[in-house]
Amino acid sequence: MEHTITNYFESDEKFHELYPMPVTALASRHWSPLEVSHKAAAFLATHKGVRILDIGCGVGKFCLSAAHYAPNATFYGVEQRKRLLEYAENAKDVLQVENVHFLHANFTQLDFKHYDHFYFFNSFYENLGVADKIDDSIDFSEGLFNHYNRMLYYQLKQKPKGTRIVTYHSMEDEIPPDYYVVKTVSGNLFKCWQKV
């Protein structure tokens, strides 16, 4: 019998075949395009064994694709919605990637000292009630938006010189002033930052 190996990294559409249809329908607004993961991985994977945290990993699209593009780095994804992590773990099983770990938690429960660099795709924006929501399983409020931004700012402020973060569609409230922009792509939508 002939076996064909699916190349899930051929296109975003192909990658979305890892997920059920309702998850794919959310992709254009909520999951990072492969091209973005590729560029972010190139900036964040500074050395062998580097630990990179995706703050709000959703169904794991960034972590799983970045892990493919940067096999010497380890990617951690933290996500508050358990249902999304089930999709992430299923996709991980299909792809058989070793260098990705998913954590079910609010990012505020993590200690950032365990991670070297970070990826952030505007995860708190749903709290402003202006974007399509992923679902109604969590609470949303402007107060939470401000609280999460402050917590992330505080955590990033504690990190040593050289710490990197990639932001995608960020409002930048979470970035302390001692991080400078190394490069931008797609206008200002995608920014690579490093702490001085």
Q: Which residues bind ligand SAM (CB under 6 A)?
A: 30-32, 54, 56-58, 61-62, 78-81, 84, 106-107, 121-124, 134, 148
Name the H helices within 70-126: 82-95
What's the DSSP call for residue 135?
-
Burial class (CB in 10 A: 0-12, 13-18, 19+), 185: middle
Smallest distance, ligand SAM to C-beta of residue 104, A: 9
Smallest distance, ligand SAM to C-beta of residue 47, A: 22
73/70 Cα distance (integer angstroms):
6
Q: 151 or 178, CB closer to ligand SAM? A: 151
> Going by C-beta distance under 8 Å and a sequence separation of 6 or more, which residues neighbour residue 45?
52, 66, 69, 70, 72, 73
Q: 133 or 195, CB closer to ligand SAM? A: 133
Smallest distance, ligand SAM to C-beta of residue 145, A: 9
Smallest distance, ligand SAM to C-beta of residue 31, A: 4
Q: 80 or 90, CB closer to ligand SAM? A: 80
Name the H helices within 45-182: 61-69, 82-95, 142-158
Residue nearest to ligand SAM (CB): 56
